[in-house]
Structure 1
């Protein structure tokens, strides 16, 4: 049987020994990369500085919404309390290029919102935005 790659003259090493010798630099490179990322990961664990004006507490204010939902059926439009029967007559007429902005309390369940959305859909409101507040 003839060798696929003949050994260089005078080396005396087989093909397998030469492959093993050429893998050693690759193993060293992988080890050095591993060490680099371990050290870089430790240096990045420092906390970020606080951004200016972030720590100042915001004054609680009502969002600029067309409809406030405080609980399942406790709704208000411009400070006036409404129910399912008077909601559509109290809201302004739906417009194609204007969204209806709804602000809901965090205690309102999704099933309550679903009932409200169906009522609004039956009233002709196609564009509805649910306003949210980021956690602090």
Structure 2
């Protein structure tokens, strides 16, 4: 009696050899993803500055940021409050080599940040480094 289904075509390879052939694309994909994240991830040469409200240091030190945004959404440059009209004159010129460093309070709302980013975009800033406190 003839079988209803023909036996699977194995091209003469053993089960282990066929499994190795099936795993090779997966291994290649994992390797390529690993290489992508190694190349894409950039390590900063300088450490992040202390942010407002940080309890890690005994003495409070202002962050090394160009602009500080308080929890109330107010903007400060060198501890002095600034308005939207004063930003262009008080901030350093936009540069691709040196991103604008913004220290933001951890309780700041996203709508406040979005408004600030829109203002900075109109002023020509394309590179921004946002410094925040980690959640505890």
The equivalent residue for 2:91 is 91
Structure having the higher Rg: 1
The equivalent residue for 2:57 is 58
8 A Cα contact 2:68 2:104, kept in partner: yes
The normalised TM-score by structure 1 is 0.53
List runs of 5+ in structure 2 lacking aligned partners: 1-55
List runs of 5+ in structure 1 lacking aligned partners: 1-56
The normalised TM-score by structure 2 is 0.53
The equivalent residue for 2:80 is 80
Query: Shift of the alpha carbon at 1:133?
Result: 2.1
Equivalent residue pairs, number:
82
Query: Shift of the alpha carbon at 1:135?
Result: 3.8
Alignment CA distance shift 1:75-1:91 (3 Å): same
Alignment CA distance shift 1:87-1:114 (3 Å): same
The equivalent residue for 1:4 is none
Query: Shift of the alpha carbon at 1:72?
Result: 5.0
RMSD: 2.2
Which aligned segments of 4 or more residues in structure 1 are displaced greater than 3 angstroms? none
Within-5 A mapping of 1:1-136: 57-59=56-58, 60-71=60-71, 73-136=73-136
Task: Return the alpha-carbon distance in structure 1 between the equivalents of residues 115 and 100 of structure 2.
Answer: 16
